[in-house]
Amino acid sequence: MKTFLTWLTAICLFLGCTQSMDARKKEKYRYKEARNYEVVMLGVGSDGTKVFKIYATDKNVERAIALAKMAAIEVTLFRGLPGGSGIAETPRLVDGATREANLDYFDTFFESGGRYLQYLNVTTDGMPSGQDRLKIKGGYKVGLSVQVLYDNLRKDLEADGIIKSLNYGF
């Protein structure tokens, strides 16, 4: 009986450890996690859009491309876009308290193949190469030229009740 309990305990510990490791792997690429990415403003897009280049890193190129797409919307929402190339800085759309209060909304918004992709046009065709695909220690650094449909994103967040409209209070 004692050996049975020992084996049962060992199996439970093993299963608990592997499940917690799997949970950490799944959490690794969530939008909430601080990631290494760079933003370089490219210019002014058509009305209501922001055009910039975003760099993201990962172990493989395909995953780095997916992370760059997610990061383009993430930086627009939660950090704001830097100024540069004669373009004024763009403030973030969602502040920290609003983000925390609407975690479920943003979880579904950023799911794989989620809604966030409808606000993004990738202007880089095909697989990045040259300076847009650099081999670095531990993986690849990939740069994508993107256009974010800023006004559409803002309008939909207002319609969903996540942020207040610009004319709120007038």
Q: Can you give the pTM of this predicted structure?
A: 0.75
Other Cβ atoms less than 10 A from the Cβ of 48: the count is: 13
Per-residue pLDDT tens digits for 68-108: 899 999 999 999 998 876 788 889 999 989 999 999 999 88
Q: Is the pLDDT of residue 31 over 60?
A: no
The structure tokens 């403030």 sit at 91
List the helix and strand counts (H, then E) for the chain. 5, 5
User: What are the structure tokens assigned to 50, written together?
Assistant: 């922001």
What is the per-residue pLDDT for 37?
78
The residues pairing with 58 across neighbouring beta strands, listed in sequence order, are 140
Q: Domain coordinates of the chain in residue numbers?
A: 1-30, 34-159
Model confidence band, residue 116 (pLDDT cutoffs 50, 70, 90): very high
Q: Considering the chain, what is the average pLDDT of its residues?
A: 79
What is the per-residue pLDDT for 148?
93
Torsion of CA 92, 95, 96, 98, to 10 degrees: -140
